[in-house]
Amino acid sequence: MAEFNPEKITFKVQRYNPENGGAPHLEKFTVPFNKGMTVLDGLLYIKENIDSTLSFRASCRMGICGSCGMLVNNYPHLACHTQIEEFHSDKLTVRPLPNLSIIKDLVVDLTPMFSSHKQIKPYLIRGEAGMEDPNAEFAQSPQELNTFLQFAYCIKCGICLAACPTSASDRLFLGPQAMAQCYRYCADSRDQGQKERLPLVDTDHGVWRCHLAGACSEACPKGLDPALAIQLLKRQLAAEALGLGKRRPPSPVVPPIKESKPKVPYPDFTVKKEK
Amino acid sequence: MRRTRLHLLHMFSGIAIAVLAGIHMVALHLEEVLAFFGVDASEPTSWGAMIARSSQGIWVGIYIALLAFLLYHALYGLRGIILELTPSARKERVITWLFVVVGIAVFIWGSYVPISLLSS
């Protein structure tokens, strides 16, 4: 493939300010291209040098915070995690994430995603009173950790929600993000909250509404597979409904270590201090 | 687990439709297959053959079960599509009850004919 090295990139960015009224429209910006430049670098160049009124969210610039999710050339991406070179085109169209309402320009309102996330109780639920005053750890083997580990990497960027065709048609749909997190906590051997969480996804707009398009898994910038989590939740629900659900004892509490190992002594200085 | 049970029943009804409609298709339209198994089914679509089948409890049972599974599968699926495209909690209750009433009415109407033929 020929080397992609244009001098300039044309950004078509969707602009929309509800306070000023009018319809969302595309605005053109020309940005000088450098090797390794990301879509976020281009947007930052526009904001710093061309139009400071352009609004977008960004923070960590390394695919960790999940702030800069946007639709680049009609596909949801993290702007900081996407190099312009990937598109092999000197024209980029940047729009806000679909399935969410626009606050301004490329900034969308993620409140529905976070309220769905909160709804599924994304924390460990234990029956005992020990959770009130935790002073020890719950034992968990590496195998038990692996049953949900990938889902713990979710950065809540909203890209799965933007890619999901069901979220596009059903605004009450819980969404792949919340349901993957529901599975993440239900599969955690330290958790005892299945009875509280499973009814929350066993609704008309829960797991059974998922069409298994798999778009969420394909778009996830962290490589998670929310579609798999939803299918595993369906399996758990079906097993519970048919009375085949496995009852697993919760992870035991590891007593606090009474005596800590002696610390490794610091090595002697190689350069002796002169007296 | 109410929705899960309803959804599992939706899946099961799909399988049941395939089996029961398969029996219907073989018995009425695939005489050569029946002949292969040694069953003589001459002109199974004729009026006389239909009346003869209607006097047998097993056939009446098959048709009533097929009607019940078909109605449940179709109406539950249609309800899901409508609720997905026009989500609203109030509309959900109205549509559910409407579909329950329509389903029961059509089932009574549809099962009346084979039952009345059986008893005649």
Tens of pLDDT, residue by residue over B26-40, are: 888 887 777 777 777
Distance between start and end Cα atoms, chain B:
43
pLDDT level of residue B90 (50, 70, 90 thresholds): confident
Are A242 and B8 inside 8 Å of each other by CB? yes
Pairwise pLDDT comparison (A260 vs A29), residue with the higher score? A29
| CB within 8 Å of chain A, chain B residues 65-94 | 80, 83-85, 87, 92
pLDDT of res. A1? 61
Mutation target vs B (from A204, A211, A232; most B CBs, 10 A cutoff): A204
CATH 1.10.1060.10 fits A111-126+136-246, yes or no: yes
The domains of chain B, with CATH numbers, are 2-119 (1.20.1300.10)
pLDDT at A262 over 80: no
Chain B's closest residue to A210, CA to CA, is B84
Pairwise pLDDT comparison (A259 vs A61), residue with the higher score? A61
Average pLDDT of chain A is 91
Is the CB of residue B3 less than 8 Å from the CB of residue B11?
no
Cα–Cα–Cα angle for B15, B79, B1, nearest 5°? 70
Residues of chain B contacting residue A172, judged by C-beta atoms under 8 Å apart: 87
pLDDT of res. B91? 84
The structural domains of chain A, with segments of one domain joined by +, span 8-108, 111-126+136-246
How far does B88 lie from chain A, in Å, by closest CA? 8
Type of residue found at B54: S
Write the DSSP string, A176-229: HHHHHHHHHHHS-TT---HHHHHHHHSSTTSGGG-----HHHHH-TT---HHHH
How far does A144 lie from chain B, in Å, by closest CA? 26
Nearest to A212 by CA among A237, A198, A231: A231
Out of B1, B7, B80, whose CB is closest to A240?
Answer: B1
Residue A106: is it exposed, middle or buried by C-beta count within 10 angstroms (0-12/13-18/19+)?
Answer: buried
B4 — contact with chain A (CB < 8 Å)?
yes
Average pLDDT estimate for A228-244: 94
Average pLDDT of chain B is 89
3-class DSSP assignment, residue A248: coil
- State the Cα–Cα distance between residues A129 and A153, nearest whole angstrom: 28
How far does B66 lie from chain A, in Å, by closest CA? 24
Tens of pLDDT, residue by residue over A81-131, are: 999 999 999 999 999 999 999 999 999 999 999 999 999 999 998 876 656
pLDDT level of residue A275 (50, 70, 90 thresholds): low
Tens of pLDDT, residue by residue over A154-180, are: 999 999 999 999 999 998 999 999 999
Q: How many of the other CB atoms lie within 10 Å of CB of A85?
A: 16
- State the Cα–Cα distance between residues A36 and B7, nearest whole angstrom: 49
Nearest to A221 by CA among A266, A154, A169: A154
Are A202 and B1 inside 8 Å of each other by CB? yes
Average pLDDT estimate for B17-27: 92
Nearest to B67 by CA among B75, B78, B77, B56: B75
Are A237 and B87 inside 8 Å of each other by CB? no
User: To which residue do tokens 């009574």 refer?
Assistant: B108
CATH 3.10.20.30 fits A8-108, yes or no: yes
pLDDT level of residue A270 (50, 70, 90 thresholds): confident
Residues listed for chain B: 120
pLDDT of res. A169? 92
How far does B15 lie from chain A, in Å, by closest CA? 17
